[in-house]
Homo-oligomer: A and B are copies of this chain.
Amino acid sequence: MNFIEERIVKDGIIKSGNVLKVDSFLNHQMDINLMEEIGREFKRRFSDVCVSKVMTIEASGIGIAAFVAKEFGVPLVFAKKSKSINVDGEMFVAEVESFTHKNKNQVIVSKKFLHEGEHILIIDDFLANGCALQGLISIAESAGAKVEGCGIVIEKGFQIGGRVIRNMGYRVESLAIIDAMDAEAGTIDFRAQD
């Protein structure tokens, strides 16, 4: 097991309905040492690509992505969720359905901060059905930027998102891929990775 898988086993809480709570270290309370380690690990995994900007979506992706951006020495842009578009200037917009909250959000990034020819690394905490990630990819492509890859902390491998995004031709690196969870037994199966 790698450091993320170990931490999930130690501190993650499996709930019924394939819910994994990692709010004690990742997306409510944040273990900053872990964030730094995640930053270093994505730098290592994407050391072969040119990255000019890291991109994520608010809110829980921001902390993680900030430490990845630090490792690459590049700026971070985070997409904002907006129900009512009330923003001046021009925006790239994508519509994203939330699995957790069962609603639709518009996801927006100012055109000032994404440009043609940029090399984008997208970072997020979870990949499940892939809607958020597809929205971010769509926004980056609208800008004429190149998505060099997607770095995910926890992928729910039993949901469709990872397969969809990889089938679209994008490189997805997930630090932990969960193939199955059993709330009653309290067990998690991780997919073997190189």
Contacts and interface: CB of A to CB of B under 8 A. Distances in A.
Interface of A: 15, 23-24, 28-32, 35-36, 58-60, 62-63, 66-67, 69-70, 73-78, 80, 86, 88, 101, 109-110, 112-113
Given A62-B63, A63-B66, A76 B30 contact: yes
Given A63-B63, A75-B32, A24 B70 contact: no
A112 B59 contact: no
8 contacts: A15-B88, A24-B112, A28-B109, A30-B77, A59-B59, A62-B62, A62-B66, A86-B101
A interface majority secondary structure: mixed
Contact of A58 (B59, B69, B73, B110): B59
Given A63-B76, A78-B59, A113-B24, A32 B69 contact: yes
Please name the 6 residue pairs, one residue from A and one from B, whose CB atoms are nearest each other, closest first. A58-B59, A59-B59, A29-B113, A62-B62, A63-B66, A30-B76
Contacts of A15: 88
Contacts of A24: 112-113
A22 to B, nearest CB: 12
A96 B32 CA distance: 27
Contacts of A36: 70
Select the residue from A23, A32, A77 with max chain B CB neighbours within 10 A.
A32
A78 B30 contact: yes
A28 B66 contact: no
Given A24-B112, A66-B67, A29 B76 contact: yes
Contacts of A75: 29-32
B35 A77 contact: no
A32 B69 CA distance: 7
Contacts of A88: 15
